[in-house]
Amino acid sequence: MTAVTDAPDPDAAHPANGLDDVVHQRVRLGILTIAHEARRVEFGYLRTQLELTAGNLSKHLSVLEEAALIDVEKGYEGKRGRTWITLTGAGRTALAAEIDRLKQLISRVETVSHPDASPHPTEDR
Amino acid sequence: MTTDSVPIGGDPRRLLSDARALARRVRLDQRLTWVALLVLAVTTLVAIPFDVVGMWVRCHPDGSCEFARNGMLFYWIPALPIAYAVIAVSYLRAARARGLGTHIRPYAITGAVTTVVLPAAWVGLRLYLAHHAVPEGPLPYWWFALDRLVMPWSMIGIALLVLAWLERNVALLLFTVVYLALVVLVLPLNTGYGPPQWGLRWNYALPQLAVAAVLLLGAAGFRAAARRRRQP
């Protein structure tokens, strides 16, 4: 006799397998989120919101730029240098995929922890 | 500060909640609701002399009068797009000063729709009434409400409704619902109000003054709220 269960198969493709190391990181996810919401964002705004040093933020930006997820544009406003960050098409896709996987992970963790409970509905970002 | 990837298990919820909080913060920093309301209030105030001076009136010996609010028609058609352009530029400049961009396209679409499509319906209604007699007897209330719905003050309300939706601004949504109820259901914007000695022209000014006052009060309220939020 074969038992049928609604519990997820732990060997099935786990959402964590699809996580992108470049995006699945608190600061870099924050940069992508802000750039997505703002359309373009200045270096100083990111530094303030993410509470980072300039050097640390630059390292994260380099990782994202190398992965072609953001465009970095340097210029001047008067005598003051300004660096603007814009999300690329690949960046938008990567951000959407990351958010989807996070939602799947949360849903999966809840289903495994409480097999009888139905998963919580996910909110839109 | 670490640059390592966040381990899985327990953290996805926090990552997602952090991302949502950041997105919300950006939206708050992009808002300039009070400026939008102030610009629309000033536009409404400036419209009053155009309506008073530009109104065509011909009174008959029996005391009845014919009139057409030509000044209002000629004023609002260019005034609305100019007001929306001023608001859009203000949003862009303020966002840029804070180190942010802003999504201008939805504002432009809303501005275009309310500037072209709905005033066209308003002009169409006026043209229809110019060639067709108004039905005898008291007109039903919905007729007045429908007439007010295609007037410029309702167009302002519809634009504010879209702005509230774009900004996910619940306070602006509530304000706009009250504002729209006022301009469509309460204020006699298409019939005038005031003592007879003021004359036909000034009777139409009073409800417009009330609309401008509501918008100005809203602008003051949203400005105070924005200042309080930015205080450390």
The pLDDT tens digits of the residues spanning B49-85 come to: 998 888 887 877 877 777 777 788 789 888 988 998 8
Q: Is residue A111 part of a domain?
A: no
Q: Write out the two tokens for B189.
A: 């914007």
Residue of B nearest to A16 (CA): B8
A106 vs B contacts (CB less than 8 Å):
12-13, 16
Q: What phi, psi does B10 have (nearest 5°)?
A: 90, -35
Residue B8 touches partner A, C-beta closer than 8 Å: yes
Residues of chain B with pLDDT under 70: 1-10, 117-119, 122, 134-137, 189-192, 194, 196-198, 232
Chain A: give the shortest CA distance to residue B3, in Å: 8
**Residue A118 is assigned to a structural domain of this protein:** no
CB B145 within 8 A of CB B160: no
> B8, B11, B14, B92: best mutation site toward chain A, by most A Cβ within 10 Å?
B8
Alpha carbons B181 and B177: distance in angstroms, whole number? 6
Query: Does residue A14 carry a pLDDT above 90?
Result: no
The ipTM, to two decimals, is 0.73
Which CATH number do you get for residue A35?
A: 1.10.10.10
Contact B88, B36 (CB under 8 A): no
A85 part of a folded domain: yes
In a domain, A69, yes or no: yes
- B62 CB near a chain A CB, below 8 Å? no
Domain extent, residue A91, equals 21-106
Instruction: Please tell me the total count of domains within chain A.
Output: 1
Whether A111 has its CB under 8 Å from any CB of chain B: the answer is: no
Chain B residues whose beta carbon lies within 8 Å of the beta carbon of residue A109: 9-10, 12
Query: Quick check: A102 and B99 CB within 8 A?
Result: no
Structural domain contains residue A59: yes
pLDDT tens-place string over residues B222-232: 999 988 887 76
